[in-house]
Structure 1
Amino acid sequence: MRHREKRVNVQSITDEPSISTAEVAVPEQRVSWLPLALIVSLFFLWGGANNLNDVLIAQFKKAFVLSDFGAGLVQSAFYLGYFLVAMPAGMYMRRFGYKSAVIFGLLLYGVGALLFWPAASQATYGLFLFALFVIASGLAFLETSANPFVTLLGSQETATRRLNLAQAFNPLGSIAGILIGQHFIFTGIEHSPAQIAAMSVAERVAYFESETHAVQWPYLVIGLVVLAWAWLIALTRFPNAAASSAMAAGKGVLRKLLRDPRFVGALFAQFFYVGAQVGVWSYTIRYVQANMPGTSAREAANFLTAELVCFMAGRFAGAALMKYLRPVRLLLAFAAINMLLTLFAVLHPRASGAYALVACSFFMSVMYPTVFALGVEGRNDDERKLGSALLVMTIIGGAVLTALMGAVSDHSSIATAMSVPVGCFTVVLLFAWRRGRYSVGAAG
Structure 2
Amino acid sequence: MASIPSSNLSGSSLNNGPPNTQHSIVPLAILTILFFMWGFITVLNDILIPHLKAVFDLTHFQASAVQFAFFGAYGVVSYPAGSLIKHIGYKKGVVLGLLIAGIGCLLFYPAGTQRVYGLFLTALFVLAAGITVLQVAANPFVTRLGNPEGASLRLTFTQAFNSLGTTLGPIFGAVLIFSAATVDISALSAVELDAHRQHEAEAVQLPYLILAASLIGLAVVFALLKNLPVIVDAEADQGHTAKTAWQHRHLVLGALGIFLYVGAEVSIGSFIVDFLGDPNVANMPKRQAGSMISFYWGAAMVGRFVGVALMLKFPPQKLLSIAAASATVLLITASLSSGYIAVWSVLAIGLFNAIMFPVIFSLAINKLGPATSQGSGILCVAIVGGAIVPPLQGLLADSIGLQVSFLLPVLCYLYIGYYGLKGYRIAPSQP
Shorter-chain TM-score above 0.5: yes
Instruction: Work out whether residues 282 and 338 of structure 2, in 8 Å CA contact, stay in contact via their aligned partners in 1.
Output: no
How far off its partner does 1:339 sit? 1.0
Aligned partner of 1:261 in structure 2 is 249
Match of 1:16 in 2: 3
Structure 1 residue 249: Cα displacement: 4.2
Question: Residue 24 of structure 1 aligns to a residue in which SS?
Answer: strand
- Of 426-435 and 46-55, deviating more is 426-435
Does 2:197 match 1:205?
no
Aligned to 1:300: 289
Residue aligning to 1:155: 147
Deviation at 1:50, TM superposition (A): 0.4
| Equivalent residue number for residue 419 of structure 2 | 431
Whether the 8 Å contact between 2:140 and 2:231 is mirrored in structure 1 is no
Per-residue deviation at 1:320?
0.2
Structure 1 equivalent of residue 125 of structure 2: 133
Q: CA deviation at 1:256?
A: 2.4
In structure 2, the partner of 1:369 is 358
Instruction: Select 2:319's aligned residue among 325, 330, 355.
Output: 330
- Does structure 2 conserve the Cα–Cα contact (< 8 Å) formed by 1:35 and 1:237? no
Instruction: Specify which of 25, 28, 35 is matched with residue 18 of structure 2.
Output: 28
Which of residues 118, 124, 128 is equivalent to 2:116?
124
Cα distance in 1 for partners of 2:361, 2:303 equals 17
Q: Return the offset for 1:344.
A: 1.2
Q: Structure 2 counterpart of 1:277, which letter?
A: E
How far off is 1:370 after superposition? 0.4
**Which of residues 408, 411, 420 is equivalent to 2:408?**
420
Distance of 1:180 and 1:109 partners within structure 2 = 19
Q: Distance in 1 between matches of 2:237 and 2:303?
A: 35
2:334 aligned partner = 345
Q: Which moved more, 1:168-177 or 1:342-351?
A: 342-351
What is the SS of the residue equivalent to 1:243? Answer: strand
1:262-307 per-residue CA deviation (whole Å, 9 max, x = no partner) reads: 1111011111111110011111111100134541111112321111
Find the counterpart in structure 2 of residue 143 from structure 1: 135
Which whole-Å deviations, capped at 9, do the CAs of 1:358-401 have from their partners, x for residues lacking one?
11110010000000001100121x31100000000111111100
Q: 1:275 aligns with which of 263, 271, 285?
A: 263
* Aligned residues of 1:18 and 1:144 also touching (Cα < 8 A): no
Gaps of 5+ in 2: none
Q: For residues 1-12 of structure 1, what are the structure 2 equivalents within 5 Å?
A: none
Q: Is the 8 A contact 1:29 1:154 kept in 2?
A: yes
Report the CA distance between 1:403 and its aligned residue: 0.5
Match of 1:50 among 26, 42, 47: 42
Partners of 2:59 and 2:383 in 1: how far apart? Answer: 24
* 2: CA distance, partners of 1:383 / 1:259: 10
How far off its partner does 1:181 sit? 0.5
**Aligned residues: percent identity?**
33
What are the ranges of 5 or more consecutive residues in structure 1 without an aligned counterpart?
A: 1-13
Moved more, 293-302 or 127-136: 293-302
Q: Secondary structure at the match of 2:298?
A: helix
Q: Quote the Cα distance in structure 1 between the aligned partners of 2:58 and 2:248.
A: 42
In 1: Cα distance, 2:34 partner to 2:248 partner: 35
Once the two structures are TM-superposed, the CA of residue 417 in structure 1 deviates from its matched residue by 1.1
Paired residue total: 423
Q: Is the 8 A contact 1:18 1:143 kept in 2?
A: no
RMSD of aligned residue pairs (Cα, Å): 1.8
The alpha-carbon distance between structure 1 residues 75 and 340, as it changes in their structure 2 partners (threshold 3 A), is same
Instruction: Provide the TM-score with structure 2 as the length reference.
Output: 0.94
AA paired with 1:376?
Answer: I
Contact residue 13 and residue 234 of structure 2 kept, 8 A: no
Of 171, 179, 184 in structure 1, the residue corresponding to residue 171 of structure 2 is 179
SS at match of 2:13: strand
Give the 3 Å change call, closer, same or farther, for CA 73–297 of structure 1 in structure 2.
Answer: same
Contact preservation (8 Å) 1:336, 1:429: yes
CA distance in 1, matches of 2:120, 2:272: 21
C-alpha separation in 2, matches of 1:239 and 1:167: 21
> Which residue is equivalent to 1:234?
223
User: Given the alignment, which residue of 33, 37, 40 partners 1:41?
Assistant: 33
CA deviation map 1:77-134 (0-9, x unaligned): 0001121111111112211111100000000110000000000000001000000000
What is the aligned partner in structure 2 of residue 3 from structure 1? none
Shift of 1:440: 12
Q: Is 1:273–1:428's contact at 8 Å kept on the other side of the alignment?
A: yes
* 1:383 alignment partner in structure 2: 371
